[in-house]
Amino acid sequence: MKFVGMTLIMILLAMCMPVLAADAPLTVTVAPERVWIVEGDGFRKVNFDFLVANSSAMPMEIVELKLMVRGQRGDFELGRELNRQGMIPSISSLITTEIPAGKTVQLLNPFSEFPGSVDLGVLEYTLVFEIKVAEGAPEPAPMEVKVQVRLQEFKPRTRLSLPLKGKVYIIDGHDLMAHHRRIDMTHPLIVGLGMKYNISRFGMDFVVVDGAGSHFKGDGKKVDDYYVFGRPVLAPATGVIADCIDGRPDNRIGEFNMDYDALMRTKDLRLFGGNFVVLDHGDGEFTFFAHLRNGSQKAKTGDRVAAGQEIGRVGNSGDSFWPHLHFQVMSSASFDCELFPAVFSRYTLFRGKRSFKVKDGMPDTGDLIQQR
């Protein structure tokens, strides 16, 4: 079924213009080039990072990051800034502020959430850098790089239902602090694997929790202690199984069996998923289900499955520390590809004893939800 409701917005990188000569040693780009935001529960989110390349022989440091939000007509809407003021300077929240000579550094975009009332027409970023010189040496003027991001409308195609029955909790989604969001594309492991994209940028981990919010009983030392372990995983929409693997062992709690040697040798990114299924829904949209229970899959590659059909059970295989279902929407059956936000239809969002019916929405970290 096709999704015709809620509007998403696609951010295209329109300009990356350094306020320097054309051969300037410092360049800033946005990763990925296509970035998506969604109308949320009173807010809007963006999910992209900056890649800062220093081709000079001198180390540099970012000392200021400013954002000016302009509406569709160019009116000033909102401003935000990180700098070195204060006893605990806000610029330090970037974690990494130094850009070594000859290196590329990834900076997480800290301005990732906006009030829903803001007209996100154009995002204008200014990054200010200082060249680090020897003590006593004259200090050159700071460098500025401006990045302008224009917005464009996008509509997802596939209407999705939640992949688990009953109340489910997103223990880790894709907000700024989520581990899915924080893959460093300049890390030696990622570079060694040849990855071009953050392969979990819009990923989310589903678990089941009790009334106190715990996702396991007792001391949580056995996979059976986890409420979600063994739960049926359901196809969120009609599709064809484009790829799947079964037969990999489930990890014991505290024993991590991910074979990183094999991963680096084969560069097969599917190893992260353990036992997994990829569903092709057509129109260039695929869903991915990872860490399934060994021996639980109900279909094979090429089989057509209906919406709501069981395709496996939640396990603890692959790159998994405790039982959960990793879910994401991809633009290709290949794992090194751009991801799409997952927009689910007709679910209930719970806030304590209150509940809210959602027609179409993109849940994130901390949300307790149930399919209607």
User: Is residue 159 one of the residues assigned to a domain?
Assistant: no
> Would the pLDDT of 214 be above 90?
yes
143 domain-assigned: yes
Does residue 3 form part of some domain?
no
pLDDT at 5: 43
Q: Measured between alpha carbons, how far is 182 from 179 in angstroms, rounded to an integer? A: 5
Q: How far is CA 361 from CA 5, 215, 265, 340, in A?
A: 9, 24, 40, 13
Query: pLDDT by residue (tens digit) across 305-325?
Result: 999 999 999 999 999 999 999
Domain that holds residue 233: 168-371
Q: Does residue 80 sit in the same domain as residue 187?
A: no
- The verdict on 313 and 194 lying in the same domain is yes
* Domain match, 127 and 46 both: yes
Place of tokens 């007709």: 346
Are the C-beta atoms of 51 and 68 separated by less than 8 Å?
Answer: no
12 confidence band (pLDDT: 50, 70, 90): very low
- pLDDT, residue 237, reads 98
Last residue of a domain, one of 127, 154, 181: 154
* 365-371 mean pLDDT: 96
**pLDDT value at residue 1:** 42
- The 10s digit of each residue's pLDDT in 129-151 is 999 887 777 888 899 999 998 77
Share of the chain above pLDDT 70, in %: 92
| Dihedral, 281, 285, 286, 287 alpha carbons, nearest 10 | -90
CA neighbours closer than 13 Å in the CB half-sphere of residue 278: 19
CATH number for the domain including 258? 2.70.70.10
SS3 content of the chain, % helix, strand, coil (to 5): 5, 40, 50
Q: Name the domain boundary from 154, 187, 215.
A: 154
Shared domain for 287 and 354, answered yes or no, is yes
Q: What is the pLDDT of residues 41-92, one digit of tens each?
A: 788 888 999 999 999 999 999 999 999 999 989 999 999 999 999 999 999 9
pLDDT bucket at 154, cuts 50 / 70 / 90: low
Whether 210 and 136 map to the same domain: the answer is: no
The pLDDT tens digits for 96-117 are 999 999 999 999 999 989 998 9
The torsion angle over the Cα atoms of residues 240, 317, 332 and 193, rounded to 10 degrees, is -150
pLDDT at position 133: 81
User: What type of residue sits at position 66?
Assistant: K
Residue 9, pLDDT > 70, answer no
pLDDT for 300 beyond 60? yes
Q: Which of 104, 130, 154 is the last residue of a domain?
A: 154
| pTM of this structure | 0.90
Q: Is the pLDDT of residue 16 over 60?
A: no
Closest-CA residue to 129 (of 88, 83, 166, 93) = 83
Q: How many domains does the chain have?
A: 2
**Where do the H-state alpha helices sit in 126-214?**
188-193
pLDDT at 165 over 90: yes
Indicate which CATH number applies to the domain containing 104.
2.60.40.1470
160 domain-assigned? no
**Do 230 and 148 fall into the same domain?**
no
Per-residue pLDDT at 17 exceeds 50: no
**pLDDT for res 11:** 39
Q: For residues 116 and 44, is the Cβ–Cβ distance under 8 A? A: yes
pLDDT-wise least confident of 150-164, 311-325, 329-343: 150-164
Average pLDDT along the chain: 89
Binned at pLDDT 50, 70 and 90, residue 40 comes out as confident
